[in-house]
Amino acid sequence: MIRFVTLNEGKYREVSGMLEGAGFECEMLAIDYPEIQCDTLEEVVKSSMAQLTGKIEGDFLIDDSGLFISSLGGFPGVYSSYVYQTIGLEGVLRLLQDVENRAAEFRCCFGLCFEGRNVLFVGGVQGMITQEKRGEGGFGYDPIFVPAGAEKTFAEIPTEEKNKLSHRGKALEKVLEFLKEQ
């Protein structure tokens, strides 16, 4: 049993679908804990794991993800959740209103506490920010992010297809490879 620590139902649906599809049971643990503010997703995940190790029985998985927009110097990056909650997609689109370079990268870092050891797994996907919101699926920044080589936003494609392309899907594939080797 892998316990996925998150308050985000959308993340849980994606992660549990992939884990269960690979034969691993998954349970959502909706635990609120303080998240440090720092420069990298990896630092956030390491700190979160340190806070939760010993408080959660058995193996658990945690993640931090961010949208890094090139023309904004990587902003919102590690502050993606806060920016989404405060200015939303409309605010991000306003920041890019007259900006030609709309290149961005979604990154995800998973931390897996497995049999008492902590392991990190990172995934990323290049893409671009749209001019307007598109699609009804997904969550978070999905309606404004088009992965490289695609025409549709993450919100316009089915979850199964998104998981093959996304930062979270790529990082979780590494988690699954690790678990299968154990």
| 158/140 Cα distance (integer angstroms) | 15
Tell me how long the chain is. Answer: 182
Amino acid identity of residue 62, one-letter, is I
| Beta carbons within 8 Å of 139's beta carbon, 6+ residues apart | 8, 9, 10, 11
Extract the tokens encoding 64.
């931090």
| Beta carbons within 8 Å of 31's beta carbon, 6+ residues apart | 5, 7, 52, 56
Q: Which pLDDT score, from 0 to 100, does residue 129 have? A: 98
Would residue 64 show up in a list of annotated catalytic residues for this protein? yes
pTM: predicted TM-score of the whole model, two decimal places: 0.93
Domain that holds residue 55: 2-181
CATH number of the domain residue 159 falls in: 3.90.950.10
Catalytic residue of the set 59, 64, 98, 142? 64
Q: How many domains does the chain have?
A: 1
Q: Which pLDDT score, from 0 to 100, does residue 162 have? A: 93
- CA dist 106 → 23, 68, 154, 178 (Å): 27, 6, 11, 22
Q: Which pLDDT score, from 0 to 100, does residue 76 have? A: 97
Ranges of residues in the chain with a pLDDT under 70 are: none
Q: Which residues pair with 128 in a beta bridge?
A: 103, 146
Q: Which pLDDT score, from 0 to 100, does residue 132 have? A: 97
DSSP state of 155: G
